[in-house]
Amino acid sequence: MNDQIPVKNVTPVKVHKPEKLDESKRYTARDRIYVRSVKGPLENFRRFFGFFFIALFVAIPWIQYDGHQAVLLNIVDQRFTIFSLTLWPQDLTLLAYIFIVSAFALFFITTFAGRVWCGFMCPQTTWTYIYVWFEEFFEGNRNKRIKLDERPMDFDKFWRKAAKHTAWVLVALLTAMTFVGYFTPVAQLYVDFFTFNTSFWAGFSIIFFTVCTYGNAGWMREIMCTHMCPYARFQSAMFDKDTFTVSYDASRGEQRGPRSRKLAHEDLAEKGLGECIDCNLCVQVCPTGIDIRNGLQYECINCGACVDACNGVMEKMDYPKGLISFTSEHELAGGTTHIVRPKLVGYLVVLLVMCGLLVADIVTRVPLEVDIIRDRNSLYRENMNGDIENVYTLKVLNKSQTEHTYTIKVEGLAEYEYIGEQVVTVGGGEVYSLPVSVATDPYNLSDRVTEIYFNVSTTEADGTVVEVSEPSKFLYR
């Protein structure tokens, strides 16, 4: 009890208060990023991938199938045509399945290979690179563009800038017209637009998407990726230590610094140098302007441009490639990447289940829809013969793309009189509205409400019978 606790004198820590924010720098404009062109396997693959999907995007609206536009998302008529499949508002579950499958496919790919969607398939990235190509074509390489922007306006600068922006507007206009062509007949759209005969909404949509494409790919560029796209914010929730991302191997690269090309790789340790020569090419080729050597950052879109740039430098220096590469955190730490892991398997299982449900919904989809609307003016009426009569309106929706003849029957009443057409022909993708009446002797009715069914059926060309039985009520008293 008499033992004393030793007291040690500790130098007090000086607390540094944060400096007061300079209000004049709160809303400073961003520095413009002059993207440098790069060559390499990843860049070639990205270009091929981008051009393939651009060609697909442009070609799809022009494809004809069975005498009509193969893909037409007609919002006005609430009818989506995709080759032989016609979707209506009643098919909302299919659209929900498509969105769910797309989401889990994105989650699965992101968990496995990071933001490769952003780097290789995202329209924002693809169109930005197209605009950068026009920029290089008219204004020169990165250094020439910097010098061109620094010098005062003259004729040479004016025509280069004017030609670049003209090309940007033309690309934006063609992009907008192609996109709107998914929602309105594309051939007529081009004729109407250039003859100033488009509808208000078609013309407005073309102008709106032209401005958006020009602004996003020409001016905003990386702002869309770093500030407006939500994907950059929640992607880290899907990353783990086995996710393949573009990473810098600091154990190989540090200490970085310039050196002579004559310095052999085996002599780097004696000079206290790593493999990174600090050329900054990885920063200059990055479309979002980050330095990958600072570690994984949410701005990185995994495009691999820095990988190609660094590998080119390593090849010239006769160093091993892969200083910057697609690798995992485990590999950087000297371990092994685990491809099969619970999170990835979970996403894959859910993706396969949702794909199965989507396919099952499409396969079991009945290309016929029947809606029954009762007459709201009277619940029932007694006709001249003393029979009780109920009036209905049948809406027969032919969800296929070919004309069909339908036969209508009533089930649920022992004896009845059907007043109206019993055989109707409905064109492909059309709705047929049919007023009918059902009458029966009141002695056949034991309840005030009798459940009946309107049975609508047709036979396909291959002999398959398509039948829909829709319930309704027969009222009395």
The residue extents of the domains of the chain are 240-332, 368-475
Question: Mean pLDDT throughout 4-9?
Answer: 62
Does 220 score more than 70 pLDDT?
yes
Are 61 and 83 contacting, i.e. CB atoms less than 8 angstroms apart?
no
Tokens coding 189: 């759209």
Q: What is the DSSP letter of 340?
A: S
393-437 pLDDT tens trace? 999 999 888 889 999 999 988 889 999 999 999 988 888 999 999
Cα separation, 448 vs 328, in Å, equals 72
Does 28 score more than 60 pLDDT?
no
Report the run of H or E that residue 452 belongs to, with start and end. Answer: strand 449-459
**φ, ψ of residue 326 in degrees (nearest 5):** -80, 105
Does 12 score more than 80 pLDDT?
no
Measure the CA dihedral 175/177/180/186, to 10°. Answer: -130
CA 208 and chain centroid, separation: 19
Question: Mean pLDDT throughout 278-299?
Answer: 91
State what percent of residues in the chain have pLDDT above 90: 60
233-242, 291-300, 338-347, 399-408: segment of lowest average pLDDT: 233-242
pLDDT category at 27 given cuts 50, 70, 90 is very low
Does 266 score more than 90 pLDDT?
no
341-394 pLDDT tens trace? 999 999 999 999 999 999 998 888 888 889 999 988 888 898 888 899 999 999
Fold that domain 368-475 belongs to in CATH? Immunoglobulin-like (2.60.40)
Query: How many other CB atoms are found less than 10 A from the CB of residue 393?
Result: 14
Cα separation, 459 vs 118, in Å, equals 48
Beta strands in 286-401 (DSSP E): 324-327, 368-374, 381-382, 388-398
Does 22 score more than 60 pLDDT?
no
Least Cα distance to 113 among 257, 245, 288, 301 occurs for 245
pLDDT category at 13 given cuts 50, 70, 90 is very low
What was the pLDDT predicted at 1? 52
